[in-house]
Amino acid sequence: MNKWLRKSFVVMVSLLTFGLITPAQPGVLDRVKADNEASEREPAKTEPIVAESAQSEEVADRDQFIENMVKLAEERSYEKFGSKIKPVIENEFREIILPNIEKAIAETATQFPDENLASLAISEQPGAGHSEKIFNIKNSQTGKDVIRFHVRRDNPPQSGYWFNFHYHTFNDNFQEHHNLGSIYWDKNTPPKWMA
Question: What does the alpha-carbon distance between residue 1 and residue 4 come to, in Å, rounded to a whole number?
Answer: 9
DSSP string for 58-110: HHHHHHHHHHHHHHHHHHHHHHHHHHHHHHHHHHHIIIIIHHHHHHHHHHHHT
Q: Answer yes or no: is pLDDT of 54 > 50.
A: no
Q: Which residues pair with 137 in a beta bridge?
A: 122, 147
Sign of the Cα torsion 101, 102, 103, 109 reads positive
- What is residue 60's predicted lDDT score, i.e. its pLDDT? 62
Q: Whole-structure pTM over 0.75, yes or no?
A: no
AA letter at 120: L
Average pLDDT, the chain: 79
How would residue 53 be classed by pLDDT, with cut points 50, 70 and 90? Answer: very low
What is the number of other CB atoms lying within 10 angstroms of the CB of residue 149? 27
